[in-house]
Amino acid sequence: MSNVPATEATSDFVPAARNRAAVPKLLVLILLLSAVVLSVWALGDELTLTKLAARETAFRQFQAGYPVIVYLAAFATYVTVTGLSLPGAVPMTLVLGWLFGLWSGILVVSFGSTAGATIAFLLSRYLLQDFMTRRFGDGLISFNDALRREGAFYLFTLRLIPVVPFFVINAAMGLTPLRVRTFWWVSQLGMLPGTVVYVYAGASVPRLQTLAEKGINAVFTPGQITQILIALVLLGLFPLFVRVVMKRFSRIL
């Protein structure tokens, strides 16, 4: 029999178990970081509108010959870009609007962006939670408090306000006890207005070259863009307004 006290044996075992549990996470994290580095290196600036506009004829020809493959490839690429928080989501949204048209473009971008956001949410929760909690632990307290008070309304508001980067929302929400299915359907609804605006912009331009030269101004004037942003902000504040009204109404009853 061993002469090592039970308490010492237990204290020696726990760090070893933690180290073994951390190995798979570390390997997955290394693979993901490698995938991000390779994707950025391979794509470079290929997802810019200028580069994509130079291939618009090839896009149309390939789409006409292999429509199903184009839809699947576009969806998978969009999920990868948003899931790994790679640059290029906005140009891709405009291009997919131009390529597929309004309604098909909305379907691809909406479900692709939500799937990618959910992947980023899960990566933050299961791979980066310890690091993020140690790094931003104090800042997460108020974030969690707001989520407990407002629930899904809080996430819905963050999704509707365009000044909040989506990759920040995905990572931060992964550190909360929010359910995955709640994150998915609230994100699906909350990102839809912005998706419609950008896909409509892409679908309204006959040539990518025009979009590359003028950007979203090819569809909307600066005044219209300002109005759209104001409308999105007001739409983001609407859930909070409903929340306040519901609380006061419940007190009256």
Give per-residue pLDDT as tens, 165-214.
888 889 888 888 889 999 999 999 989 988 998 898 888 877 777 777 77
Q: Which helix (H) or strand (E) holds 142?
A: helix 129-150
Higher-scoring residue by pLDDT: 13, 97: 97
Encoding tokens for residue 192?
């839809």
Helix (H, G, I), strand (E, B) or coil at 246: helix
Q: What one-letter code names the amino acid at 146?
A: A
Residues 6+ positions from 123 with CB-CB distance below 8 Å: 32, 83, 174
Q: Provide the whole-model pTM.
A: 0.74
Domain coordinates of the chain in residue numbers?
9-43, 46-252
- 216 pLDDT higher than 90: no
The rounded percent of the chain whose pLDDT value lies above 90 is 21
Q: Which of 38-42, 85-89, 215-219, 243-247 has the lowest mean pLDDT?
A: 38-42
pLDDT value, residue 68? 94
Q: How confident is the model at residue 47 (pLDDT cuts 50, 70, 90)?
A: low
Contact indicator for 210, 201 with CB cutoff of 8 Å? no
Contact indicator for 114, 187 with CB cutoff of 8 Å? yes
Helix (H, G, I), strand (E, B) or coil at 212: helix
Taking CA 114 as the corner, what is the angle to CA 139 and CA 235, rounded to the nearest 5 degrees? Answer: 70
CA distances from 28 to 33, 72, 175 (A): 9, 25, 18
CA distances from 207 to 33, 173, 196 (A): 35, 38, 19
Contact indicator for 12, 57 with CB cutoff of 8 Å? no
pLDDT value, residue 8? 44
- Phi then psi for 146, rounded to 5 degrees? -65, -35
